[in-house]
Amino acid sequence: MGTATPRWPAGHRAALCVSIDVDGAYGEANYRSPDDIYWLSQALYDPTGTARLLDLLADAGTPATFCWVARAAEDEPDLVRRAVAEGHELALHSWDHRHYAPMGKDGQRQDMERSLATLSRIGGVTPVGHKTPGWRYDADTLAVAQELGLVWVMDEPRGDLPTLLRPDPARGPLVNLPPSRWFDDYTYQVDHMLTPQATFETWREDLEVLRAEGRAMFLTLHPFVSGRPGPSRAIARLLDHAVDMGDVWIARADQIARWWLERDV
């Protein structure tokens, strides 16, 4: 990497990636008992929230990365196709939102291959990235992603910049895009019922620090959380603020990962 190589393209000072995990009916089912209808029913809002987030992104004129549980994609194929048609990235988020670490390497491979085939068929594009449900990944997850030729993963909070991972040194690297529970709407608007303004202000402070340092922010949103009417204002305001700054690169995960690979040569 030459010292003259800028960290971000086209004079941008920092990068912002909005990733949206479309869990459908399968996310909450992972954390709640089967008779906990109070919680399980909340996920029924996912399609409405997904549509609102797509409207919001269109208003802001910014792209996002949709990490779509494959079974949820089968439930709502028109929304998947709408997201792709509007310029958003489609990425893996497992078949039915089970945690990966207990599955073993073969189980993880089968799950990722099945998800890849399903999203490719519905969306008409080939996903190149993966985020593990609940961030319950292990070393096998990274190895399988590399073996399948994916470009990026978003499981390990290794700082505020992408990093290159080489589980098998003989293969091309994976780009790790660091997520965080501090960048996750679930933390602010489910675990703690903060107002949209408080959520926005926390993320705005994050973004301003990262911009001053020339680093990157990888948000994780959920349609049944950030896609709700009031809570949607947190991400809407953050995107407006980022656009107004004028020098934040608001990009899809695949764009950031490919840029990082390019810089590495």
The two tokens of residue 171 are 């293969």
User: Which residue, 210 or 219, has its beta carbon nearer to Zn ion?
Assistant: 219
Query: Radius of gyration of the chain from Cα atoms?
Result: 17
User: Which residue, 190 or 243, has its beta carbon nearer to Zn ion?
Assistant: 190
User: Which residue, 27 or 227, has its beta carbon nearer to Zn ion?
Assistant: 27
| Cα 136 from chain centroid (whole Å) | 15
Pairing, β 163-165 against β 174-176: antiparallel
Minimum distance from residue 134 beta carbon to Zn ion (Å): 7
- Decide: is 27 part of the binding site for Zn ion (CB under 5 A): yes
Stretch that binds Zn ion, among 24-32, 102-110, 180-188, 205-213 (CB under 5 A): 24-32
Minimum distance from residue 222 beta carbon to Zn ion (Å): 7
Question: Which of 8, 19, 22, 23 is the binder for Zn ion (CB under 5 A)?
Answer: 23
- Decide: is 49 part of the binding site for Zn ion (CB under 5 A): no
What's at 125, amino acid-wise?
V
Minimum distance from residue 16 beta carbon to Zn ion (Å): 20
Stretch that binds Zn ion, among 126-134, 143-151, 158-166, 224-232 (CB under 5 A): 126-134
- Decide: is 185 part of the binding site for Zn ion (CB under 5 A): no
Stretch that binds Zn ion, among 18-26, 54-62, 154-162, 184-192 (CB under 5 A): 18-26
Question: Which of 14, 21, 43, 68 is the binder for Zn ion (CB under 5 A)?
Answer: 21
Residues that bind Zn ion (CB under 5 A): 21, 23, 27, 133
